[in-house]
């Protein structure tokens, strides 16, 4: 407990320092990354729910059960995705379905979440006073027409509009005042003009799942093969957001179909790390990370890491690749951090089923 | 006199309320001549087999198998408030207990286990439970235990009928009837029931309202209704007392709304998830048991169908045809053997399976031997070898001894022991689900060591028994689904040791016109994951959903036409995952029942029964996050004709 309090104090001081730096941005060097980030642990759908692991990159300390430490109660949803916007951290949770939020500095939850018109939320992207949440809307695997985008007015704390979007929108990205939605049940990416809310589609050779955005606001999208929509054209697709065209497809076998963070880029966007899976020497299915070199537009011939049993997501933070591992959903997982040359740097204990890392902007 | 003691021992060792038929050998305790599970004990010396008494059975006629067994035997269940319940005998998984109707293991071939909430006690006459491994007798899946659903031969001459109406809290209703028609040789027995429960009980929520700061508010369970019905038809024909045909067909139709956890119930009150399953189970046979050389020829057919949220295109169906034949020979007065074979062809139709899988064939050959020495010692040996298409099944032997250590006019002391190997063929989902099914899985294997003693006492006004059992079970290649990065896949993951102690006692005595039956069952079940290919923090810790301590107490007091019953169930704390958090607290439930038997005349009888459940209004969970009902009642009226 004493240790936790000290750590909380340290986080508060760090947050204060970070915010002080921001207030005097002209005088201080820019802070690219906050000192504390949060690992989201999905938990178990039928048991323990999402927990948060706070990670301080300066000290290397991890604090598991961070949300519960702050709020005195555990989260009640399985968080599918999380994003920070306007000083708050928003969580899209399943089972129960809700959008809820905590203060970005204190992590305190002081308000009840939104549940109306949030059905099977998948991903959160924000701009201005609005959050856009991809929602499956029901059993998408039986009816592809039930899905939609929930447009949430953050100030009013309600879903202002449901934008019907068939095809099971999953990952989202905002670029050039357009919302891009990767469709998990249709070989397309949907493009929604955020002013007119008109929808157009970019055809893809496979169903899509998540995006990373480059420094020019263009998008890389993961192309995957699923049980309901098999494809051999898996890999990464490059979308030019100026003309909304799929300009290139970079093939890669075994791109993960997991509903977790499977893509991440490094800070200067020279590399994109892609979670894949393959059978190991003993024919056990294991995870791996492939590296896409943005300059050469090729995947490295050697995997960045491989034979990771229970790989459950990846992120890039503190100049390291974070590999999240969950062999089961009944026991805690871990995060392994790798230097950019692929050597293991650190192993962090997390909660059950870690899958993404969140930095609070 | 000794024979009298034997008889009374049989009577009060849990098998005795109704008339006995067959005692082929002097010290063999035989289950009643129940059509569908026959003689379980004869070839399993030293095995622990219990049967629910008829009084306890009568009090639980409105409920399901979970309600019956949790009140009467030391067996824990993981359950919600009526829609789903799974059995966990001696720390094993639900897939490790076979549930048998005749020669049919009714466990789902896709999931591996049964939802025991959907097994109505009303349709059956008896329920027997075998603790510990019995694959050598029951085949695949009987690692932790076996449950036998029994029907009793009546050989009705004339017409008999029963009708039952029951009404309880939260919209619970049961309507049932049993009709017996026969001429002493041919009989038709029809049993049918309809069960409905709205299940809208109130409970204390564990949630927090972040705006008011309130916790522990009262909520009402929504969308957790249940509607089941079933019919079981028997046609039986006997040529002689031990030479007869049977034909049983059981149609079961179950629908329920999947109960949501407390958080979903409060935050997404509209959420509604339907689960439907229906089953046809046919078991028929010819049994010739009237000579030293006996034989049976049996056959069966099973159709299982399930759907979730009415999505019928995602087919989950299996069909099986089963044939079994065995011979049994009492070749000398104190020894016999049995040799048989059981074959089945299984045709799965599951939307997520490989299209290459058309059907699977299974055949088991088995042999059993029984020998009695010096009227004190019985020894049995069972051997079984199964064959499954494209899958290797281990050889499965067992052996047991039962020794009468002391035999006096009023009591008998037995000491027994049993060693049994067991196995489970992985489910179809484990092997063929796309993606993640793994055809290269090894079978789960178990070894069970049992040592027990029972002391049976009988005097004119007091009779009873005390039983104690020690067991050790080793289960290897336990199958779990592992995260493969892209998808989850089935793998032989862990090895589990389960050891423990079970104490059971049951006493019946007469005082001043009162007939009282008191019982106490206690189990200490130390079950640990000793090896795992996963990095588990819970190695050598108590396994999830296995209470270290559990007990139940019951009393049934009969005075003239009145029966008063109390039962108390204690379930110790339970881990719900591999971390030392989210631990279910221990809980204690107190239930009572009162019945009045009104004998209108020699042919008409009415029984009025009232039950008060969870009298202490205990707030508890049996499955993490799921609400359970507080105090509730049930009233029933049963009319018996003839």
Both tokens of B161, joined, read 């009928």
Smallest CA-to-CA distance from B238 within B329, B153, B326 is with: B153
Smallest CA-to-CA distance from A39 within A273, A352, A361 is with: A352
Determine the Cα–Cα distance for residues B129 and B57; give it in Å rounded to an integer: 13
| pLDDT > 70 fraction of chain B, expressed in percent and rounded | 94
Determine the Cα–Cα distance for residues B119 and B105; give it in Å rounded to an integer: 13
H/E element, A70: helix A66-71
Query: Is residue A317 within 8 Å of residue A336, measured between CB atoms?
Result: no
Smallest CA-to-CA distance from B389 within B430, B425, B339 is with: B425
Query: What sign results for the dihedral spanned by CA atoms B113, B116, B120, B124?
Result: positive
Q: How far is B229 from chain A (nearest CA, A)?
A: 28
Determine the Cα–Cα distance for residues A338 and B30; give it in Å rounded to an integer: 66
Higher-confidence residue: B23 or B273?
Answer: B273
Query: What sign results for the dihedral spanned by CA atoms A272, A273, A274, A276?
Result: positive
**pTM (whole model) above 0.90:** no
Determine the Cα–Cα distance for residues A53 and A40; give it in Å rounded to an integer: 7
CA separation, residue A237 to residues A124, A212, A221 (Å): 21, 10, 5
Q: What is the DSSP letter of B15?
A: I
Rounded average pLDDT over B552-577: 95
Determine the Cα–Cα distance for residues B140 and B96; give it in Å rounded to an integer: 9
Omega of the bond prior to A96 within 30 degrees of 0, cis?
yes
Query: Is residue B52 within 8 Å of residue B65, measured between CB atoms?
Result: no
Q: Rounded to 5 degrees, what are φ and ψ at B264?
A: -65, -40
| pLDDT > 90 fraction of chain B, expressed in percent and rounded | 82
Both tokens of B83, joined, read 């829609």
CA separation, residue A62 to residues A4, A39, A323, A345, B450 (Å): 10, 9, 15, 15, 47
The answer to whether the CB atoms of B211 and A110 lie below 8 A apart is yes
Q: How far is A306 from chain B (nearest CA, A)?
A: 11
What angle (nearest 5°) sits at the alpha carbon of residue B383, between those of residues B381 and B387?
A: 170
Closest chain A residue by Cα to residue B259: A46
Q: Rounded to 5 degrees, what are φ and ψ at B78?
A: -105, 120
β-bridge mates for residue B320, sequence order: B302, B346
Indicate the SS3 state at residue B265: helix
Q: How far is B235 from chain A (nearest CA, A)?
A: 43
Q: How far is A50 from chain B (nearest CA, A)?
A: 13
β-bridge mates for residue B608, sequence order: B596, B637
Q: How far is A199 from chain B (nearest CA, A)?
A: 29
**Using CB atoms and an 8 Å cut-off, which of residues 84-103 of chain A contact chain B?**
95-98
Position A282 scores a pLDDT of: 64
Q: How far is B530 from chain A (nearest CA, A)?
A: 15
Band of the pLDDT at A46, cuts 50, 70, 90? confident
Q: What is the DSSP letter of B122?
A: G
pLDDT at B37 over 50: no
Rounded average pLDDT over A8-17: 43
The answer to whether the CB atoms of B485 and A330 lie below 8 A apart is no
Band of the pLDDT at A280, cuts 50, 70, 90? low
Rounded average pLDDT over B488-495: 93
Higher-confidence residue: B539 or A9?
Answer: B539
Q: B interface mutation test: which of A42, A64, A75, A95 has the most B CBs within 10 A?
A: A95
Closest chain B residue by Cα to residue A279: B484
Position B7 scores a pLDDT of: 36
Rounded average pLDDT over B152-164: 92
Rounded average pLDDT over B419-437: 94
Q: What is the DSSP letter of B426?
A: P
Query: Is residue A273 within 8 Å of residue A264, measured between CB atoms?
Result: yes
Indicate the SS3 state at residue A58: coil
**E strands, B89-154, in order:** 97-101, 104-105, 126-131, 145-150
**Facing residue for B579 by CB, picked from A110, A310, A332:** A332
β-bridge mates for residue B362, sequence order: B344, B388
Query: What sign results for the dihedral spanned by CA atoms B283, B284, B289, B294?
Result: negative
Position A55 scores a pLDDT of: 96
Tokens 């009705």 -> residue: B156
**E strands, B92-225, in order:** 97-101, 104-105, 126-131, 145-150, 157-168, 172-183, 186-197, 202-204, 218-220
Smallest CA-to-CA distance from B336 within B43, B20, B632, B4 is with: B43
Q: Rounded to 5 degrees, what are φ and ψ at B275?
A: -130, 130
The answer to whether the CB atoms of A96 and B579 lie below 8 A apart is no
Closest chain A residue by Cα to residue B270: A116
Distance of CA A296 to the CA centre of its chain: 26
Query: Is residue B152 within 8 Å of residue B144, measured between CB atoms?
Result: no
Smallest CA-to-CA distance from B403 within B395, B412, B394 is with: B412
Determine the Cα–Cα distance for residues B208 and B204; give it in Å rounded to an integer: 11
CA separation, residue A318 to residues A12, A56, A305, B467 (Å): 19, 10, 18, 64
- Min mean pLDDT across A302-306, B3-7, B441-445, B545-549 is at B3-7
Closest chain A residue by Cα to residue B312: A142
pLDDT at B294 over 50: yes
Band of the pLDDT at A34, cuts 50, 70, 90? confident
Determine the Cα–Cα distance for residues B7 and B409; give it in Å rounded to an integer: 12
Which alpha helices (H) appear in A111-182, and where do they start and end? Answer: none
What angle (nearest 5°) sits at the alpha carbon of residue B192, between those of residues B186 and B196?
A: 175
**pLDDT tens digits, A182-214:** 999 999 999 999 999 999 999 999 999 999 999
- Min mean pLDDT across A140-154, B3-17, B262-276 is at B3-17
Smallest CA-to-CA distance from A360 within A106, A171, A167, A176 is with: A106
Q: Rounded to 5 degrees, what are φ and ψ at B263?
A: -70, -45
pLDDT at A35 over 90: no
Tokens 């032989």 -> residue: B492
Q: Where are the domains of chain A?
A: 116-251
B contacts of A283 (beta carbons < 8 Å)? 440
Distant-in-sequence, close-in-space partners of B304: CB < 8 Å, separation ≥ 6: B108, B109, B110, B277, B279, B317, B318, B319
Q: Rounded to 5 degrees, what are φ and ψ at B171?
A: 75, 25
**Facing residue for B484 by CB, picked from A71, A277, A332:** A277
Band of the pLDDT at A228, cuts 50, 70, 90? confident
Q: How far is A195 from chain B (nearest CA, A)?
A: 31
Smallest CA-to-CA distance from A248 within A231, A236, A264 is with: A236
Task: State whether residue A267 sits within 8 Å of chain B by CB.
Answer: no
pLDDT at A283 over 60: yes
Query: Is residue A115 within 8 Å of residue A135, measured between CB atoms?
Result: no
Task: State whether residue B271 sits within 8 Å of chain A by CB.
Answer: yes
Q: What is the DSSP letter of B95?
A: G
**pLDDT tens digits, B587-599:** 999 999 999 999 9
B contacts of A77 (beta carbons < 8 Å)? 263
pLDDT at B36 over 80: no
Q: What is the DSSP letter of B137?
A: H
Tokens 């977790």 -> residue: A260
Closest chain A residue by Cα to residue B538: A331
**Using CB atoms and an 8 Å cut-off, which of residues 100-139 of chain A contact chain B?**
109-113, 115, 139
pLDDT at B357 over 90: no
Query: Is residue A146 within 8 Å of residue A167, measured between CB atoms?
Result: no
A contacts of B487 (beta carbons < 8 Å)? 257-258, 277, 285
Q: Where are the domains of chain B?
A: 2-411+424-441+455-461+598-641
| Fold designation for A116-251 | Methylamine Dehydrogenase; Chain H (2.130.10)
- Min mean pLDDT across A283-287, B45-49, B63-67, B468-472 is at A283-287
Average pLDDT, chain B: 91
The answer to whether the CB atoms of B215 and A73 lie below 8 A apart is yes
Distant-in-sequence, close-in-space partners of B105: CB < 8 Å, separation ≥ 6: B98, B99, B138, B139, B140, B141
Closest chain B residue by Cα to residue A99: B267
Determine the Cα–Cα distance for residues A211 and A198; give it in Å rounded to an integer: 21
The answer to whether the CB atoms of A331 and B536 lie below 8 A apart is yes
pLDDT at A18 over 50: no
Position B237 scores a pLDDT of: 96
pLDDT at A25 over 80: no
Smallest CA-to-CA distance from A294 within A315, A273, A272, A275 is with: A272
Query: Is residue B428 within 8 Å of residue B461, measured between CB atoms?
Result: no
Rounded average pLDDT over A297-309: 93
Rounded average pLDDT over B77-82: 94
For domain B2-411+424-441+455-461+598-641, is the CATH number 3.30.160?
no
Task: State whether residue A73 sits within 8 Å of chain B by CB.
Answer: yes
Buried b (16+ CB within 10 A) or exposed e, A48-74: bbbbbbbbbbeeebbbbbbbebbbeeb
pLDDT at B473 over 70: yes
């Amino acid at each position: 407990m004493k240790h936790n309090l000290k750590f909380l104090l340290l986080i508060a001081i760090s947050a204060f320092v970070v915010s002080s730096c921001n207030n005097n941005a002209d005088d201080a060097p820019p802070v690219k990354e906050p000192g504390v980030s949060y690992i989201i642990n999905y938990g178990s759908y039928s048991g323990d729910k999402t927990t948060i692991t706070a990670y301080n990159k300066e000290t290397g300390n991890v604090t598991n059960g961070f949300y519960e430490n702050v709020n005195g109660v555990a989260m009640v949803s399985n968080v599918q995705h999380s994003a920070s916007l306007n000083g708050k951290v928003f969580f899209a949770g399943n089972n129960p379905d809700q959008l809820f939020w905590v203060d970005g500095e204190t992590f305190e939850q002081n308000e009840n979440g939104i549940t109306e018109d949030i059905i099977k939320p998948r991903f959160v992207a924000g701009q201005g006073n609005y959050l856009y949440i991809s929602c499956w809307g029901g059993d998408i695997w039986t009816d592809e027409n039930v899905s939609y985008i929930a447009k949430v007015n953050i100030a009013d704390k309600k879903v202002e509009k449901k934008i019907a979007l068939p095809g099971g929108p999953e990952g989202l990205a905002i670029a050039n005042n357009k919302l891009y939605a990767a469709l998990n049940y249709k070989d397309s990416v949907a493009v929604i003009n955020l002013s007119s809310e008109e929808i157009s589609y970019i055809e893809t050779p496979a169903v899509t799942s998540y995006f990373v955005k480059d420094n020019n606001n263009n998008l890389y999208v993961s192309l995957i093969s699923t049980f309901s929509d098999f494809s051999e054209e898996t890999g990464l697709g490059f979308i030019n957001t100026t003309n909304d065209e799929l300009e290139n497809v970079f093939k890669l076998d075994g791109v993960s179909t997991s509903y977790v963070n499977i893509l991440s880029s490094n800070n200067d966007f020279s590399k994109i790390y892609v979670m894949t899976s393959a059978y190991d020497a003993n024919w056990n299915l294991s995870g791996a990370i492939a590296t896409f070199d943005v300059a050469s537009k090729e995947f490295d011939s050697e995997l960045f890491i491989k034979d990771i049993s229970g790989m459950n997501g990846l992120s890039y933070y503190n100049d390291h690749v974070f590999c999240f591992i969950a062999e089961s959903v009944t026991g805690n997982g871990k995060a392994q951090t790798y230097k950019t040359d692929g050597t293991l740097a650190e192993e962090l204990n997390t909660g059950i089923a870690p899958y993404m890392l969140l930095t609070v902007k | 006199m000794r024979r009298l003691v034997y008889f009374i021992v049989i009577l009060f060792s849990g098998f005795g309320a109704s008339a006995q038929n067959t005692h082929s050998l002097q010290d063999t305790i035989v289950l009643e001549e129940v059509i569908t599970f026959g003689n379980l004990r004869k070839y399993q010396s030293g095995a622990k087999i219990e049967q629910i008494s008829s009084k306890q059975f009568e009090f639980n006629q409105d409920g399901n198998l979970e309600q019956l067994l949790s009140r009467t035997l030391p067996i824990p269940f993981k359950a919600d408030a009526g829609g789903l319940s799974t059995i966990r005998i001696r720390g094993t998984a639900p897939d490790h207990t076979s549930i048998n109707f005749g020669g049919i293991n009714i466990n789902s071939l896709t999931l591996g286990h049964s939802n025991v909430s959907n097994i109505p006690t009303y349709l059956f006459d008896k329920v027997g439970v075998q603790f510990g491994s019995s694959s050598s007798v029951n085949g695949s899946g009987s690692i932790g235990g076996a449950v036998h659903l029994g029907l009793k031969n009546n050989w009705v001459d004339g017409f008999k009928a029963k009708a039952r109406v029951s009404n309880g809290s939260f919209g619970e209703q049961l309507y049932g009837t049993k009709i017996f028609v026969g001429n002493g040789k041919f009989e038709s027995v029809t049993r049918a029931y309809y069960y409905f429960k709205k299940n809208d009980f109130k409970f204390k929520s564990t949630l927090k309202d972040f705006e008011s700061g309130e916790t522990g508010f009262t909520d009402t369970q929504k969308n957790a209704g249940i509607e089941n019905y079933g019919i079981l038809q028997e046609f039986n024909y006997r040529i002689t007392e031990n030479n007869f045909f049977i034909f049983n067909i059981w149609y079961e139709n179950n629908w329920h709304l999947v109960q949501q956890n407390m958080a979903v119930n409060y935050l997404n009150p509209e959420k509604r998830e339907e689960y439907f399953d229906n089953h046809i189970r046919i078991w028929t046979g010819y049994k010739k048991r009237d000579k030293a050389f006996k034989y049976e020829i049996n056959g069966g057919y099973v159709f299982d169908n399930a759907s979730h949220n009415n999505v019928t295109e995602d087919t989950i169906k299996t069909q099986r045809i089963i044939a079994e034949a065995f011979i049994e020979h009492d070749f000398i007065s104190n020894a016999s053997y049995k040799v048989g074979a059981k074959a089945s062809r299984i045709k799965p139709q599951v939307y997520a399976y490989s299209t290459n899988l058309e059907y699977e064939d299974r055949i088991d050959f088995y042999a059993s031997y029984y020998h009695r020495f010096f009227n004190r010692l019985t020894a049995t040996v069972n051997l079984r070898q199964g064959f499954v298409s494209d899958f290797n099944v281990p050889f499965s032997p067992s052996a047991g001894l039962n020794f009468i250590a002391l035999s006096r006019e009023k009591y008998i002391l037995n000491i027994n022991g049993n060693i049994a190997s067991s196995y489970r063929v992985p489910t179809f989902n484990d092997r063929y689900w796309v993606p993640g099914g793994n055809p290269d899985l090894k079978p789960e294997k178990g070894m069970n060591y049992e040592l027990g003693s029972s002391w049976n006492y009988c005097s004119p006004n007091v009779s009873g028994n005390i039983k104690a059992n020690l067991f050790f079970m080793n289960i290897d290649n336990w199958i779990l689904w592992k995260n493969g990065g892209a998808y989850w896949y089935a793998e032989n993951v862990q090895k589990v040791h389960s050891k423990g102690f079970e104490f059971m006692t049951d006493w019946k005595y007469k005082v001043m016109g009162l007939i009282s039956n008191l019982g106490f069952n206690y189990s200490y079940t130390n079950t640990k994951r000793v090896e795992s290919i996963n990095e588990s923090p819970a190695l050598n810790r108590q396994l999830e959903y296995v209470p270290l301590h559990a007990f139940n107490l019951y009393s049934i007091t009969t005075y003239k036409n009145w029966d008063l019953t109390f039962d108390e169930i204690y379930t110790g704390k339970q881990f719900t995952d591999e971390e030392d958090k989210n631990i279910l607290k221990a809980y204690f439930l107190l239930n009572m029942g009162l019945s009045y038997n009104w004998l209108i005349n020699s042919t008409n009888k009415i029984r009025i029964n009232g039950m008060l459940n969870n009298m202490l209004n205990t707030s508890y969970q049996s499955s993490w996050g799921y609400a359970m009902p507080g105090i509730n009642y049930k009233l029933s009226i049963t009319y018996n004709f003839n």
